[in-house]
């Protein structure tokens, strides 16, 4: 398993590593244009793809034996390549950024015989591109990996992040000014900053992030898993693999996170491998501060402008969730000419379960109490004990410290209680349907587990008459949709109080199927 290998030569020269051939995408990019931008979440193979391009342009044909490019690339041509990466370590200042660039440009400058001069990084890169073009007689290829990481490393400090953004903006402007000397340019990263900030000098780049032709440029498709990795499938539930790790989409063919797939095949155990490599602390804090209603995460509607870019001073949660891979595209609809609305949702069970577990802590639930309550919940669901849930959830909400409410602006956020309740179920890995539509209305939350159906309706008692939650379930006939399943149905009305900050009403009605 080529886990963590980002060097194409190391992978191809290694001892029997699996490799999913992406060279057809590389040639397609080169044939159709010359300046691109691509955003994908972390651990999706961006670095390996860039290194593949480097070896291709440098003409190292032996590495491509048996691959698509072997028979379709002009191996008589070789191009000078400058590859810049900000993926290694945290850059905490502009001085760190310049030090990183200095170390990456020096070897190229030495090879060209350029004398070290006291120039800005922008001037040095510009001179280097011109010198390589003149020396090699071929235009230069520039590949930038993790172009945005210096900003994201400092995103919680807006002043420092802005300094990084301005320094990078100055550096990247070279790529437009040096167009006459450039054969091919590709910038990759996790996020896309707005055109009026970092990209104001890069308006010639073609953004292929939301391009159906390149949706599978990074990641493994269903076909890849079934063919390339066929020897690893016996002993694993194929549908579970799909449910847990598939589902990422950028308007075309869906893909699996490759990091997850490789670790699953190595360890033969389902775990949140990708999620565990980076805790989204800033994201959780942002969602809490913006009072984001977490049940909405399963289906977020947004215009393209809202998800396609952000800036240091303005970070819409929808854009951050999508670009970092915690939400993915589920579909789009054209409202009017060139006006698209996108539907976002969780890509798979791994992300839904893990993110909601992290959100519980962000919404004040201590780790220990959350884990204890989760174990109790599963036992109660298996036993069909609906009334026993009241004590579990009452204790869960009571465990949120008073000081947490004092420090957070959620005291009047009516959705806080339903958010905690939903995230708790989602973190338990249960099959959940939110705002489930019936012919009489929408059920707040349906849970399908252990051959039973659990239907929940939430109310804030200060806003409705007491007992309204269960009454609405009865009045609107929410159980009708599920009677054909032949399983027990539990109608549960839950009422919260913003005064006591806890459950004050918990009514249960059970309907057993006939026969």
Is the domain of 102 the same as that of 189?
Answer: yes
Is the domain of 62 the same as that of 187?
Answer: yes
- What is the distance between the terminal CA atoms of the chain, rounded to a whole angstrom? 51
Instruction: Give domain status of residue 2, yes or no.
Output: no
Instruction: Give domain status of residue 382, yes or no.
Output: yes
Q: Model-level pTM greater than 0.85? A: yes
Domain end call among 343, 362, 381: 362
Is the domain of 178 the same as that of 103?
Answer: yes
Is the domain of 188 the same as that of 234?
Answer: no
Beta strands in 11-124 (DSSP E): 35-39, 81-85
Residue 252 reports pLDDT greater than 50: yes
Domain end call among 183, 214, 245: 214
Is the domain of 331 the same as that of 379?
Answer: no
Q: Give phi and psi for 343, each to the nearest 5.
A: -105, 125
Residue 88 in tokens:
């290694």
Q: Give phi and psi for 197, each to the nearest 5.
A: -115, -100
Is the domain of 165 the same as that of 82?
Answer: yes
Structural domain count of the chain: 3
With H, G, I as helix, E, B as strand and everything else as coil, classify residue 289.
Answer: helix
Is the domain of 143 the same as that of 196?
Answer: yes
| Residues shown for the chain | 515
Is the domain of 49 the same as that of 156?
Answer: yes
More confident residue, 439 or 255: 255
H or E stretch at 509: strand 502-511
Domain span holding position 171: 8-214
Residue 266 in tokens:
């190595």
Q: CA-CA distance, 122 to 357, in Å (whole number)?
A: 44
**What confidence tens digit (pLDDT) does each residue in 301-346 have?**
888 777 877 788 888 888 889 989 999 999 888 888 878 899 999 9
Q: Burial code of 66-84, b = ≥16 C-beta within 10 A, e = fewer?
A: ebbbeeebeeeeebbbbbb
- Which of 29-38, 414-423, 503-512 has the weakest average pLDDT? 414-423
H or E stretch at 207: strand 206-207
Closest CA to 54 of 88, 83, 12: 83
Is the domain of 391 the same as that of 502?
Answer: yes
Specify the CATH number for the domain of residue 62.
3.40.50
Is there a contact between 29 and 243 (Cβ–Cβ < 8 Å)? no
Is the domain of 62 the same as that of 122?
Answer: yes
More confident residue, 196 or 96: 96
Transcribe 224-282 into DSSP letters: HHHHTTGGG-TTS-HHHHHHHH--B-SSSS-BB-HHHHHHHHHH-S---HHHHT---HH
Residue 440 reports pLDDT greater than 70: no
**What confidence tens digit (pLDDT) does each residue in 140-187 have?**
999 999 999 999 889 888 899 999 999 999 999 999 899 999 999 999
């Amino acid at each position: 398993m080529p886990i963590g290998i980002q060097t194409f030569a190391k992978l191809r020269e290694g001892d029997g590593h699996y490799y999913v051939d992406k060279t057809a995408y590389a040639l397609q990019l080169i044939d159709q244009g010359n300046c691109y931008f691509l955003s994908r979440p972390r651990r999706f193979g961006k670095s390996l793809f860039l290194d593949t391009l480097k070896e291709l342009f440098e003409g190292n044909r032996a590495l491509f034996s048996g691959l698509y490019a072997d028979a379709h690339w002009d191996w008589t041509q070789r191009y000078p390549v400058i590859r810049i990466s900000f993926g290694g370590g945290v850059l905490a200042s502009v001085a760190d950024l310049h030090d990183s660039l200095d170390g990456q440009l020096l070897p190229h400058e030495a090879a060209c015989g350029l004398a070290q001069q006291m120039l800005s990084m922008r001037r040095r890169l510009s001179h280097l591109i011109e010198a390589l073009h003149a020396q090699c007689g071929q235009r230069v290829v520039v590949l930038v990996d993790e172009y945005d990481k210096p900003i994201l490393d400092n995103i919680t400090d807006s002043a420092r992040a802005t300094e990084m953004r301005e320094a990078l903006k100055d550096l990247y402007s070279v790529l437009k000014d040096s167009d006459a000397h450039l054969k091919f340019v590709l910038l990759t990263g996790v996020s896309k900053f707005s055109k009026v900030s970092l990209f104001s000098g890069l308006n010639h780049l073609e953004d292929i992030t939301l391009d159906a032709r390149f949706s599978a440029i990074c990641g493994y498709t269903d076909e890849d898993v079934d063919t390339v990795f066929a020897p690893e499938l016996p002993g694993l539930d194929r549908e579970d693999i799909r449910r847990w790790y598939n589902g990422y989409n950028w308007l075309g063919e869906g893909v699996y996170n490759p990091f997850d797939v490789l670790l699953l095949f190595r360890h033969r155990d389902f775990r949140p491998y990708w999620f565990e490599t980076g805790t989204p602390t800033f994201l959780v804090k942002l969602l809490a501060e913006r009072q984001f209603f977490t049940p909405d995460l399963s289906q977020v509607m947004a215009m393209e402008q809202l998800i396609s870019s952000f800036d240091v001073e303005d970070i819409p949660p929808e854009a951050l969730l999508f670009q970092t891979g915690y939400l993915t595209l589920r579909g789009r609809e054209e409202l009017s000419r060139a006006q698209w609305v996108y539907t976002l949702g969780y890509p798979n069970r791994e992300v839904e379960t893990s993110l909601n577990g992290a959100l519980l802590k962000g919404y004040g639930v201590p780790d220990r109490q959350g884990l204890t309550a989760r174990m109790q919940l599963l036992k109660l669901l298996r036993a069909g004990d609906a009334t026993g849930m009241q004590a579990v959830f009452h204790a869960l909400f009571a465990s949120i410290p008073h000081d947490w409410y004092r420090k957070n602006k959620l005291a009047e956020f009516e959705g806080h209680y339903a958010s905690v309740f939903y995230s708790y179920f989602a973190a338990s890995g249960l099959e959940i349907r939110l705002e489930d539509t019936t012919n009489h209305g929408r059920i707040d939350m349906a849970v399908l587990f252990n051959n039973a159906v659990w239907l929940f309706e939430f109310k804030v008692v200060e806003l409705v008459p007491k007992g309204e939650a269960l009454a609405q379930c009865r009045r609107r006939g929410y159980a009708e949709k599920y009677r054909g399943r032949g399983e027990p149905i539990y109608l549960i009305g839950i009422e919260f109080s913003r005064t006591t900050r806890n459950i004050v009403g918990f009514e249960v009605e059970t309907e057993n199927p006939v026969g």
